Amino acid sequence: MIITSYNLSKSYKSVKALKNVSISCKKGEILGVIGANGSGKSTLFKILLGVLKPDTGLVTISSKKTKPIGGIIEKPALYEYLNAHENLKVFGRIQGLKITDKFVINSLKKVGLPIDRKDPVKNFSMGMKQRLGIAIALLNNPECLVLDEPFSGLDPMGISSLNTLITTLAEEQKLGILISSHILGELNKICHRLTVLKNGEIIKSGTTKDIINESTIAYNISAANISTSEVLKSYDVTIKNHQATVIVAFEDISELLQKLHNENIAITSCTPEVNMNKLFEN
């Protein structure tokens, strides 16, 4: 494991923000941490990054690098009046790096930002600011990356683009990535494992597939000709436009999809519909 926490606890006066939280993440893995506002996600990530000290517990990072871990908490901390090049140079100097123009260009390319933008980053979209924040977090080549609510304020295209970047960093650079969000659908797309926090405690932890499946109450199946299906008439289903919401058990969804395929229903997507109350049940 590249990063492991053991029994982390943290209190703010009378509020217990974290209660004996233990997590781990290995190189090349994306670990999702999901929870409602106030569940302890940001506190956990601040402790992992060394911004906060836990009351009890320990964090270990298996890296000999100068900067073993980088990250963004809540939103990127940028110098809004500077451009992207200048931000990278300033943060590079803060971290003791000699930043060349070539290094800056490579850093911007790595996160998919344009290299010719010279206007202040206050003009950037939220998605571009998140990418620049990640570029800064990657200075000094850490082996672990922590991203706290990176999808906040992004439009669907921005979320999709950021997901691609995060997946690429894990797969190609073998970074261990911990990402928090309350948007389960996005974590479902990119995370290998999920940890569910509630009131500062871990109530569930496992593979993304297992966590999602045990909380799924239906599947949304999209196809242009979905309304013509005879197979669906024997299921508890609601069809609207080109989407059918079908109540079916996880162990039976593959069989249903095969039946739909056999009757030439051109399925374009099948996504689980998760009962959030069930997800957060202890």
Distance of alpha carbon 119 from alpha carbon 124, whole angstroms: 9
Q: What is the pLDDT of residue 112?
A: 93
Answer whether residue 153 shows pLDDT above 90: no
Distance of alpha carbon 43 from alpha carbon 38, whole angstroms: 9
Q: What is the pLDDT of residue 282?
A: 81
Distances (CA, A) of 10 to 16, 19, 44, 178, 196: 6, 7, 9, 19, 17
Distance of alpha carbon 134 from alpha carbon 138, whole angstroms: 6
Answer whether residue 263 shows pLDDT above 90: yes
Q: What is 3-199's CATH topology?
A: Rossmann fold (3.40.50)
141 is written with which tokens? Answer: 């080549």
Split at pLDDT 50, 70, 90, the class of 104 is: very high
Distance of alpha carbon 243 from alpha carbon 268, whole angstroms: 10
177 is written with which tokens? Answer: 């990535």
Answer whether residue 116 shows pLDDT above 90: yes
> How much is the pTM?
0.91
Of 53, 59, 49, 52, residue with least CA distance to 21: 59
Mean pLDDT of 147-159: 90
Of 237, 279, 275, 280, residue with least CA distance to 256: 237
Split at pLDDT 50, 70, 90, the class of 1 is: very high
Q: What is the pLDDT of residue 168?
A: 95
Split at pLDDT 50, 70, 90, the class of 211 is: very high
Split at pLDDT 50, 70, 90, the class of 174 is: very high
Edge-to-edge strands of the sheet including 56-61? 15-25, 3-12, 56-61
Q: State the chain's mean pLDDT as an integer.
A: 94
Answer whether residue 14 shows pLDDT above 90: no
Residue 274 phi, psi (nearest 5): -95, 135
Q: What is the pLDDT of residue 6?
A: 97
Mean pLDDT of 6-26: 95
Residue 176 contacts residue 27 (beta carbons within 8 Å) = yes
Answer whether residue 89 shows pLDDT above 90: yes
Of 173, 184, 168, 228, residue with least CA distance to 39: 184
Q: What is the pLDDT of residue 185?
A: 87
Q: What is the pLDDT of residue 188?
A: 93
Q: What is 215-279's CATH topology?
A: Alpha-Beta Plaits (3.30.70)
Residue ranges of domains in the chain: 3-199, 215-279
Q: Which amino acid is at 103?
A: F
Mean pLDDT of 21-29: 97
Answer whether residue 75 shows pLDDT above 90: no
Split at pLDDT 50, 70, 90, the class of 152 is: confident
Answer whether residue 237 shows pLDDT above 90: yes
Q: What is the pLDDT of residue 79?
A: 96
Query: What percent of the chain is predicted at pLDDT more than 70?
Result: 100
Of 16, 19, 21, 27, residue with least CA distance to 63: 27
Task: Centre a 10 Å sphere on the Cβ of residue 190 and count the other Cβ atoms it contains.
Answer: 17
Task: Centre a 10 Å sphere on the Cβ of residue 196 and count the other Cβ atoms it contains.
Answer: 22
Distance of alpha carbon 89 from alpha carbon 80, whole angstroms: 14
Mean pLDDT of 194-221: 95
